[in-house]
Chain A
Amino acid sequence: MKDTVLDIPAIELKGIRKTFTLSEDRDAKTVLALDGVDLKIRQGEFLTIIGPSGCGKTTLLRIIASLILPDEGEVIVEGEPVREPGIKRAMVFQTFGLFPWKSVIDNVIFPLMVRKFDAAEAREIAMKHIRQVGLDKFVDAYPHQLSGGMQQRVGLARALSTGADILLMDEPFGAIDAQTRELMQEELMKICQQEQKTVVFITHDLDEAVLLADRVLLMSRGPGRVREVIDVDLPRPRFDYDVRGHETFVKVRAHLWHELRNDLVEQRAEETS
């Protein structure tokens, strides 16, 4: 039975287009952010999205989360078209998005409380995920008492507590110092492997994109399009050997950098001309 379910993509994007209006004036300038994005994301897949800044990565993720609607096209989650945020998708935010007035446990419980879970049951679920991210000693701490890395662990625990199969992560480690980031990448890979999550992960860090991914999606600079999707054929788990020294890692990274660099050089030329 599992096999028939697996045939359905976790997420399917069909011809996503999105235009933004820059000001409220009548002769407002409009900017095409996404120009026809088609994509299928397999169940249990770890997909990273990389591209030059301003290529619409975050817009795309917010469309997948139904936080904004596309002008054209469809988002299909596990076979069903969606237009509103839903229980199957949980988001992890770049700036953590923790409520400063709620303790760690209350932040993690929030999605369950919103869905009217029984209080004791919600607490049990939340505690399980707080332990999973290693914050059991900080259950009653408040976000401002925690480091950036710890705050994002709370963000991750909160997303996990929803029980969603799909995690949408918007540069989640971008605001975290380099060493903590490596540790968290490892832990994220462990958790996702254990729990069989489908992950869409935005990053601007090439190493991170290749290290985490089953596939890397490279977006072209604005208007955002899918430029290339590259398989990363590296054995898992990827933290008990030197992944960065692996031949495939080096090859994929070099290829991505070559492509990205062309875009950046062009962008720079346009800006200075």
Chain B
Amino acid sequence: MIDKLIRPSVFLPLVSLVVVFGGWEIVGRSINPLLFAPPSEVLRQFGELLQTGELQDAAMVTVRALFLGYFLAVVVGIPFGILMGAWTRFGDILQPYLYAIFATPRVVLVPLIVVWFGIGFEARLFLVFFWSMIAISVNTAQGVRHARPDLVEVARSFQATRLQMARHVLIPGAIPFVVSGLRIGAERAIVGVIIGEMFLQIVGLGGVITKGSQELLPAKMLCAVAVIAVLGTIIVTALDTVEKRFQDWKGAP
């Protein structure tokens, strides 16, 4: 037990946590409570928010828009990406717009979305969907287009049919790229849902942050930030693990 604690990879993060949270507590207590909150206050606020059910309700709202939007992005984004990758002309036609979308800060879309969808659930859903779908499609298209020519030739030399080629060479070859797209798309989706809740309709976890700031309750904001951080970390870590698993599939050409 002691041996384990002595290892730098274990005790350094522990020391870091103690120092940072200890320092935060000390500094937090000495600052105007309207501007900043120490961990103890955040914890107290957390209990309160849980008791009133505000935090759970907010989290549910966020998760609902996030998951539904992301689900739609996956369902639409992957086939769209396959089309873009397999049919080069289609990809060429879309290219300028994709570049434009990538080069433009995506927040500029928010007012447009308000015009199209209002500020309700649909608007937030679209924000999540659109932001993550682009990433999923572009990565999928890349995967389809980057089929390894050497493996295509191998399959051809053994007289694989088109269907067999797709099933045993093209699709498995594209999977690592698709999974990368899913991970990047999830990151985008999380940003999208929170932006929507902070700037469109003040609901969900993003809404809790905005309200906390308006009510001058920093502890409340920090509670929501912590929940978002944990939620995001779980989702991204899970997809990251899946992504790493498929790295070997890319292989050396």
Contacts and interface: CB of A to CB of B under 8 A. Distances in A.
Contact of A100 (B156, B159, B160, B249): B249
Interface in B156-211: 156-161, 164, 168-169, 172-173, 175
A95 B159 contact: no
Given A97-B150, A99-B168, A85 B157 contact: yes
Contacts of B150: 93, 95, 97
Contacts of B250: 100
B248 A95 contact: no
B157 A110 contact: no
A148 B5 CA distance: 41
Given A93-B150, A114-B164, A144-B248, A99 B172 contact: yes
B158 A143 contact: no
Contacts of A85: 156-159
Contacts of B169: 99
B109 interface: no
Contacts of A90: 157-158
A199 to B, nearest CB: 16
Nearest to A99: B151
Interface of A: 65, 67, 84-87, 90-91, 93, 95, 97-102, 110-111, 114-115, 142-144, 162
B164 to A, nearest CB: 6
Contact of A142 (B168, B175, B248): B248
16 contacts: A65-B157, A84-B159, A85-B156, A85-B158, A90-B158, A91-B157, A97-B151, A99-B168, A100-B251, A101-B173, A101-B249, A102-B168, A110-B155, A114-B155, A142-B248, A162-B158
B153 interface: yes
A114 B160 contact: yes
B172 A67 contact: no
A202 to B, nearest CB: 15
Contact of A115 (B154, B159, B248, B251): B159
Interface residues of B, number: 23
Given A93-B150, A97-B151, A101-B172, A143 B157 contact: no
B253 interface: yes
B151 A111 contact: no
Given A95-B253, A143-B251, A86 B153 contact: no
Given A110-B168, A142-B248, A144-B248, A86 B159 contact: yes
Contacts of A162: 158
User: Which 7 residue pairs are nearest across A and B when measured between Cβ atoms?
Assistant: A100-B251, A97-B154, A111-B158, A101-B172, A91-B157, A144-B248, A114-B160
Most chain A CB inside 10 Å of its own CB: which residue of B155, B159, B252 = B159
B250 to A, nearest CB: 7
Contact of B158 (A95, A98, A114, A144): A114
A65 B153 CA distance: 11
A203 to B, nearest CB: 19
Contacts of B153: 67, 93, 97
A114 B249 contact: no
Contacts of A65: 157
B159 A87 contact: yes
Nearest to A68: B153
Given A85-B159, A99-B169, A110-B168, 4 more contacts: A95-B252, A100-B251, A102-B168, A114-B155
B245 to A, nearest CB: 11
A143 B249 CA distance: 10
B157 A67 contact: yes
Contacts of B155: 110, 114
Contacts of A101: 172-173, 175, 249
A102 B167 CA distance: 12
A256 to B, nearest CB: 29
A87 B251 CA distance: 28
Contacts of A86: 159
Nearest to B153: A67
A75 to B, nearest CB: 14
Interface string B73-113: 00000000000000000000000000000000000000000
A162 B160 CA distance: 13
A67 B159 contact: no
